[in-house]
């Protein structure tokens, strides 16, 4: 009886078809419709297309020449690089450190993972207050340390030159730092799980051979963690392309002076605020293409080793 | 015996279920969207009116109110286009409403009156907005005015007098310089979020109250010239350092708080902001409503104002037999003389008998005094633009003031999208 289950494959189709139909209706159909929309003239969400653009590839031409799109691409790629270096990098260091301590490991796991459970919108509002221009937490600290220039006017009023954390010189740090901070805990938990799977016998044997802490990390931990690390990197790269909510809450429409656009925020602004649905669809296509290319490249570079 | 008792019990149970269902049917849940959310000055009055409606009718209201801004406007339009519109909507009655009016998604007052003859009977028909198809759709609520709020304490510290109805642009520039020298910010404004207040007045300053609503049709017409001149006036104020140092990165809430906390002297805003100061100001006597400086042919006593919003009943609610009466009753209660009198302090209304606000606080009294000196009023010209053109124009203000784009190019870009 049980062998029949494996021989007769046709009933499996019954279980696969509903999920396939669901994806067909809610993923593939909208996706292909979205590609068609990029060639049409659509003046608002839900509105019927008013015919083809002139020329029909107008949006793709605009994509090529739009300076804000270039800014969005540049920022998104920068975010991707920072994600790999800082999110996964810091998570790895924290995981290695927590793995070596005996007391409080569970406490640190909870603490580092906590930002993940808070909504990005709430985090955005929190960081807005932290980096607030007048009276924000960081600026108050700087003021109390005497790091902000002050001037006493003839009227006796003390004028503080607050630091604008969202201006041209600081916006990248202010935008990227909370994003990095938010997801460190996610990769930390994945990496610490990977570390737990490494047999303690190996460390004991290495210790008997006279290997110190650094050598144990270099020659045992990191090689055995390679596959987990590769998974983290691929997740980090593809995840960076989808970052939207936190930068949107903090920087809205490209603040300052259209310099902080990301592909996601620019697509949202064009579609929902500017009501330029066809151009928004074109940006969406670009995001998908970029996602496929980058995730393929990441998969090739960080391919898990079959020896492990 | 047992069988008949069981049958009787089943019968009683079914009857009770039917009666509960019948009773439950009477309570209707209305989905309502208004701009009385966030920090709107009338939020409490609206919530009280909704509560009174719920208590008097037994109906429930799903309140989806939010703060009015470009994002909210876009969301409302999107809801209509995707078929998830509310039953009752409090929204702008100008070109913003045309997409759902022309799509037949709201019901005209004429059609409602055919079944409910007393609907909006307390309003002056002549003051109700007329749509492009010549019909009236929205029952107007209170009107609005836009004018200059001043922080009297800051002005006093700087030795500057509170502006009067004859305030000129030259006097204003001199006052701004004095205020800046004293270590205060002359103008509280987020040019990245709400440049439209200054745009309206600087455009009027380069034209007249009569031609304020002219929208440029070409880059070389008179309206385009005054729009560009208005943008250049804003640029001059920016270059002189009269806006907050972070005006291109600050939110509206941040700059309003700058003004409220006694760090800035002038703020152009609307009648809705009076409620904000009533709730948040430490001492209302520190604030007053003055006049936006006049230039050229415009006098400072000429302002922006009118009735721009009203209650729409959607076709979806009208065609639902359960919701039709509930929606009509909701709008009737929210626009009754008694309820509107709680919303109004100094704003105009379309009420036949007029509103009777009571117990004005010092800031409301100041607004009433300033309004008494207003000699002419014009609507906001931005209301004549499409969402795309408006978003483009105001998004480009930051590019104009920083010199990345000329004022003429910004106007041309908006014209192309309108």
pLDDT digits (tens, 9 = 90+) for B167-206: 999 999 999 999 999 999 999 999 999 999 999 999 999 9
Q: In the numeric block, which tokens belong to residue B62? A: 């799903």
Residues in chain A with CB shorter than 8 Å from the CB of B404 are 257
Residues in chain A with CB shorter than 8 Å from the CB of B401 are none
pLDDT digits (tens, 9 = 90+) for B52-82: 999 999 999 999 998 877 778 888 988 898 8
Protein fold of B144-306+364-417? D-Maltodextrin-Binding Protein; domain 2 (3.40.190)
What pLDDT is recorded for position B201? Answer: 97
| Residue boundaries of the structural domains of chain B | 2-143+307-343, 144-306+364-417
Question: Which residues of A lie inside 8 Å of B (Cβ-Cβ)?
Answer: 43-47, 132-134, 151, 153-155, 157-159, 161-162, 164, 166-167, 171, 252-253, 255-258, 272-276
Rounded distance, CA B353 to CA B124, Å?
9
What pLDDT is recorded for position B352? Answer: 82
Asked if the peptide bond before residue A256 counts as cis, ω within 30 degrees of 0, the response is yes
Compare all CA atoms of chain B with the CA of A171 and give the residue at the minimum distance. B249
Rounded distance, CA B188 to CA B258, Å?
7
State the pLDDT confidence band at B6, using cuts at 50, 70 and 90.
low
Compare all CA atoms of chain A with the CA of B81 and give the residue at the minimum distance. A46
Nearest to B391 among A44, A164, A274 (CB): A274
Compare all CA atoms of chain B with the CA of A164 and give the residue at the minimum distance. B246
CATH of domain A37-131+166-301: 1.10.3720.10
Q: In the numeric block, which tokens belong to residue A279? A: 């151009």
Residue B5 scores a pLDDT above 80: no
Q: Report yes or no: B383 at the A interface, CB cutoff 8 Å.
A: no
Q: Cβ–Cβ of B158/A155 closer than 8 Å? A: yes
Asked, colleague to colleague, whether B2-143+307-343 and B144-306+364-417 share their fold, the answer is yes
What pLDDT is recorded for position A3? Answer: 54
Nearest to A164 among B181, B245, B404 (CB): B245
* Residues constituting chain A: 308
Half-sphere exposure of B337 (CA within 13 A, CB side): 10
What pLDDT is recorded for position A9? Answer: 77
**pLDDT, mean of residues B367-390:** 86
Q: B249: Cβ–Cβ under 8 A, 6 or more apart, which residues?
A: A133, A164, A166, A167, A171, A255, A256, B192
3-state secondary structure of B176: helix
Choose from A133, A175, A277 for mutation: most chain B CBs within 10 A: A133
* Residues constituting chain B: 418
Residues in chain B with CB shorter than 8 Å from the CB of A162 are 245-246
The CA distance from A155 to the nearest CA of chain B, in Å, is 6
Q: Which residues of chain A have pLDDT under 50?
A: 1
Residues in chain B with CB shorter than 8 Å from the CB of A129 are none
What pLDDT is recorded for position B25? Answer: 52
Q: At what angle do helices A277-301 and A67-82 cross, to 10 degrees?
A: 30
From the candidate CATH numbers 3.60.15.10, 2.60.40.10, 3.40.190.10, 3.40.462.40, the one assigned to the domain spanning B2-143+307-343? 3.40.190.10
Compare all CA atoms of chain B with the CA of A275 and give the residue at the minimum distance. B388
**pLDDT, mean of residues B293-316:** 93
Q: In the numeric block, which tokens belong to residue A172? A: 């990248």
Element (H, E) at B187: strand B185-187
| Residue boundaries of the structural domains of chain A | 37-131+166-301, 132-163
Helices (H), B150-285: 152-158, 169-181, 196-205, 222-239, 252-260, 273-280
For the entire predicted model, the pTM comes to: 0.78
Half-sphere exposure of A116 (CA within 13 A, CB side): 14
Give the residue from B100, B121, B96, B99 showing the smallest Cα distance to B109.
B121
The CA distance from B97 to the nearest CA of chain A, in Å, is 13
Nearest to A46 among B78, B182, B249 (CB): B78
Q: Express as a percent the part of chain B with pLDDT over 90.
A: 64
Q: Cβ–Cβ of B249/A162 closer than 8 Å? A: no
Residues in chain B with CB shorter than 8 Å from the CB of A47 are 81, 99
A–B interface: beta-carbon pairs under 8 A? 90
How many CB atoms sit inside 10 A of residue A218's CB? 12
Q: Cβ–Cβ of B181/A153 closer than 8 Å? A: yes
Q: What's chain A look like in SS3?
A: CHHHHHHCCHHHHHHHHHHHHHHHHHHHHHHHHHHHHCCECCCCCCCCCCCECCCCCHHHHHHHHCHHHHHHHHHHHHHHHHHHHHHHHHHHHHHHHHHHCCCCHHHHHHHHHHHHHCCHHHHHHHHHHHCCCCCCHHHHHHHHCCCCCEEECCCCCEEECCCCCCCCCCHHHHHHHHHHHHHHHHHHHHHHHHHHCCCHHHHHHHHHCCCCHHHHHHHHHHHHCHHHHHHHHHHHHHHHCCCCHHHHHHHCCCCCCCCCCCHHHHHHHHHHHCCCHHHHHHHHHHHHHHHHHHHHHHHHHCCCCCCC
The CA distance from B391 to the nearest CA of chain A, in Å, is 6
For residues B180, B181, B184, B187, the Cα torsion angle rounded to the nearest 10 degrees is: -10
State the pLDDT confidence band at B8, using cuts at 50, 70 and 90.
low
ipTM for this model:
0.79
pLDDT digits (tens, 9 = 90+) for B24-44: 556 899 999 999 888 777 888
What are the φ and ψ backbone dihedral angles of A47, each rounded to 5 degrees? -80, 150
Q: What is the DSSP string of B283-338?
A: -GGGEEE--PPB-TT--TTEEEEE--EEEEEBHHHHTSHHHHHHHHHHHHHHTSHH
Compare all CA atoms of chain A with the CA of B181 and give the residue at the minimum distance. A153
Choose from A41, A43, A45 for mutation: most chain B CBs within 10 A: A45
Cβ A39 vs Cβ A56: under 8 Å: yes
What pLDDT is recorded for position A307? Answer: 59
Element (H, E) at B166: none
**pLDDT, mean of residues B226-239:** 97
Q: In the numeric block, which tokens belong to residue B270? A: 């609307």
Residue B20 scores a pLDDT above 50: no
Q: How far is CA B259 from CA A249, B67, B230, B239, B287, in A?
A: 23, 20, 24, 20, 10
Q: In the numeric block, which tokens belong to residue A7? A: 């021989």
Q: A171: Cβ–Cβ under 8 A, 6 or more apart, which residues?
A: A165, A251, A255, A256, A259, A260, B249
**Sign of CA pseudo-dihedral B137, B140, B145, B146:** negative
What pLDDT is recorded for position A104? Answer: 83
What pLDDT is recorded for position B286? Answer: 95
């Amino acid at each position: 009886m049980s062998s029949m289950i494996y021989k007769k494959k046709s009933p499996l189709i019954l279980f696969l078809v509903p999920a396939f139909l669901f994806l067909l209706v809610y993923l593939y159909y909208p996706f292909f419709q979205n590609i068609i929309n990029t060639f049409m003239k659509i003046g608002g969400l839900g509105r019927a297309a008013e015919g083809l653009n002139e020329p029909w590839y107008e949006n793709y031409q605009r994509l090529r020449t739009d300076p804000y799109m270039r800014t969005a691409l540049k920022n998104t790629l920068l975010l991707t690089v920072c994600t790999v270096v800082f999110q996964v990098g810091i998570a790895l260091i924290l995981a290695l450190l927590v793995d070596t301590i005996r007391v409080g490991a569970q406490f640190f796991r909870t603490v580092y993972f906590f930002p993940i459970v808070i909504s990005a919108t709430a985090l955005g509002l929190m960081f807005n207050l932290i980096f607030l221009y007048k009276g924000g937490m960081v600026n108050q600290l700087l003021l109390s340390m005497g790091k902000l220039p002050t001037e006493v006017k003839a009227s006796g009023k003390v004028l503080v030159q607050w630091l604008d954390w969202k201006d041209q010189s600081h916006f990248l740090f202010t935008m990227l730092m909370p994003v990095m901070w938010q997801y460190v805990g996610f990769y930390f938990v994945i990496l610490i799980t990977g570390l737990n799977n490494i047999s303690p016998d190996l460390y004991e044997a290495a210790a008997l051979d006279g290997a110190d802490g650094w050598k144990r990390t270099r020659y045992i931990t990191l090689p055995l963690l390679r596959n987990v690390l590769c998974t983290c990197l691929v997740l980090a790269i593809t995840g960076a392309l989808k970052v939207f909510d936190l930068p949107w809450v903090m920087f809205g429409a490209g603040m300052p002076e259209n310099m902080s656009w990301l592909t996601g925020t620019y697509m949202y602004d064009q579609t929902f605020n500017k009501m330029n649905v066809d151009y928004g669809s074109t940006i969406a296509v670009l995001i998908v293409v970029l996602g496929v290319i980058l995730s393929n490249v990441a998969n090739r570079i960080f391919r898990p080793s079959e020896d492990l | 015996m047992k069988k008949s008792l069981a049958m009787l019990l089943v019968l009683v149970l079914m009857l009770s279920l039917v009666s509960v269902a019948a009773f439950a049917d009477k309570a209707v849940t209305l989905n309502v969207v208004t701009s009385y959310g966030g920090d709107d000055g009338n939020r409490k009055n609206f919530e009280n009116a909704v509560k009174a409606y719920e208590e008097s009718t037994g109906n429930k209201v799903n309140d989806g109110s939010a703060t009015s801004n470009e994002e909210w406007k876009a969301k409302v339009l999107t809801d209509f286009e995707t078929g998830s519109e509310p039953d009752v909507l409090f929204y702008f009655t100008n070109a913003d409403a045309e997409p759902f009016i022309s799509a037949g998604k709201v019901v005209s007052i004429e059609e409602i009156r055919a079944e409910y003859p007393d609907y909006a009977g307390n309003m002056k028909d002549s003051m109700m907005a007329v749509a492009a198809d010549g019909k009236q759709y929205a029952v107007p609520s209170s009107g609005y005015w836009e004018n200059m709020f001043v922080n009297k304490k800051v002005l006093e510290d700087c030795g500057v007098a509170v502006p009067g109805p004859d305030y000129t642009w030259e006097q204003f520039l001199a006052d701004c310089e004095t205020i800046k020298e004293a270590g205060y910010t002359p103008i509280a404004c987020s040019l990245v979020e709400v440049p439209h207040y200054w745009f309206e007045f600087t455009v009027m300053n380069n034209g007249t109250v009569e031609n304020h609503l002219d929208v440029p049709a070409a880059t070389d017409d008179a309206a385009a010239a005054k729009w560009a001149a208005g943008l250049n006036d804003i640029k001059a104020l920016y270059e002189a350092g009269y806006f907050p140092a972070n005006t291109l990165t600050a939110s509206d809430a941040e700059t309003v708080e700058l003004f409220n906390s006694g760090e800035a002297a002038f703020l152009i805003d609307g009648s809705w902001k009076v409620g904000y100061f009533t709730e948040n100001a430490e001492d209302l006597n520190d604030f007053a409503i003055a006049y936006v400086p006049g230039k050229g042919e415009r006098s400072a006593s000429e302002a922006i104002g009118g009735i721009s919003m009203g209650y729409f009943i959607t076709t979806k609610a009208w065609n639902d037999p359960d919701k039709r009466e509930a929606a009509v009753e909701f709008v009737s209660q929210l626009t009754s003389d008694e309820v509107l009198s709680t919303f109004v302090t100094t704003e105009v209304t379309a009420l036949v008998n007029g509103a009777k606000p009571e117990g004005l606080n010092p800031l409301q009294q100041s607004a009433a005094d300033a309004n008494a000196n207003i000699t002419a009023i014009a609507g906001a010209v931005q209301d004549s633009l499409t969402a795309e053109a408006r978003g483009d124009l105001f998004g480009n203000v930051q590019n104009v003031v920083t010199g990345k784009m000329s004022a003429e190019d910004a106007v041309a870009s908006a014209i192309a999208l309108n």
